[in-house]
Amino acid sequence: MAKIVLDGVDKVYPGGVQAVDNLDLEIADNEFMVLVGPSGCGKSTALRMIAGLEEISGGELFIGDQVVNDRPPKDRDIAMVFQNYALYPHMTVEQNLAFGLKLRKVPKQEIQRRVQEAAAMLGIESYLKRKPAALSGGQRQRVAMGRAIVREPQAFLMDEPLSNLDAKLRVQMRASLNQLHERLGVTTVYVTHDQVEAMTLGDRVAVLRDGRLQQVDTPKNLFDHP
C-alpha cells in the first residue's frame, strides 16, 4: 500500500489545452479518494498521469516515496479499472484473471490461489469458465475488478467504472466496492462525474474545476458546508 502525492502537477496537451493546472493532492495510505467534477475538468487526465498513461508537463508525482514522473506504467505497481472493462474476449473469466500474473511469471499455485480468492470476494466463482460475451455488464465489471485485485498492487485507479451499468446495478456495485475497500484497504483513486457515487464511496472527495482543485474534504464536511 502506498500514498500518492501530486505536487504542483500540470498537464498541457499538444495544442495548448491546460487540462490540469498546478494540482496539489495527497492521497494517504489505504485512502479511497474520489476525483469529481463536470466533464472536461481534468479528472481522467489526472488519473492517467498517475497511471503513467499520460506524460506530466510540470510538477512531481510520488507513489510511496519515489518520484515516478518518468516511470512507465509497468514500473508503478498500480492496477487500473476502466469503464469499458477491457476484457480479452477469446479468454474465459479464469484466463482473464490469470493472464497478467502469467506474464509476470507468478507460480501456478499462487495464481490459482489469487484467482480463487478474488473470485470469491467478487461473487464470480460460478462463471469462471465462461467467456465475457456470455456475461452481463455488471458481471463483466466484476471480472475487470478481479483482474485488478489479483495483481495485489499498491494502488487501484478507477475511471468511471460503473458508468455503463444501470441504476440498480450501480447501487449494488457501490456496496461491493465499499466492502472490497474495507477488506483490502488498498489506496484507491476513483474518477466519477456522479456526486452520489463520490459521496458514498470516498473517504475524501476532491472537487476539480477547469483543471484546478476547488475543494478536498470528507463527504460529510462537503455535504455540511458545500
Closest CB 192 distance from ligand ADP, rounded Å? 10
- CB-wise, 86 or 175, nearer to ligand ADP? 86
Residue 18, helix vs strand vs coil? strand
Contact criterion met (CB below 8 Å) for 100 and 88: no
Contact 111, 128 (CB under 8 A): no
How far apart CA 225 and CA 178 sit, in angstroms, is 24
Shortest distance in whole angstroms from residue 3 CB to ligand ADP = 23
The helix/strand/coil state of 98 is: helix
37 versus 153: smaller Cβ distance to ligand ADP: 37
CB of 213 closer than 8 Å to CB of 23: yes
Provide, rounded to whole angstroms, the least separation between the CB of residue 207 and ligand ADP: 11
Give the three cell numbers for residue 126.
460460478
Q: Which of residues 82 and 99 has its CB atom nearest to ligand ADP in the complex?
A: 82
User: Which residues are at the interface with ligand ADP (CB under 6 A)?
Assistant: 13, 15, 17, 19, 37, 39-45
At its nearest, how many Å lie between ligand ADP and the CB of residue 182? 27
What is d(CA 118, CA 134) in angstroms, rounded to the nearest whole number? 20
Picking from 217, 226, 215, the residue whose alpha carbon sits closest to that of residue 31 is: 217
Are 34 and 197 within 8 A, CB to CB? yes
Nearer to ligand ADP, 4 or 121 (CB): 4
Spatial separation of the C-alpha atoms in residues 98 and 106, rounded to whole Å:
9
Q: Is 187 in contact with 156 (CB distance < 8 Å)?
A: yes
As measured in angstroms, the least distance from the Cβ of 38 to ligand ADP is: 7
Nearest approach, Cβ of residue 72 and ligand ADP (Å): 18
Query: Which residues lie across from 108 on neighbouring strands?
Result: none
Q: Which is nearer to ligand ADP, 14 or 226 (CB)?
A: 14
Rank residues 39 and 109 by Cβ distance to ligand ADP and give the closer one: 39
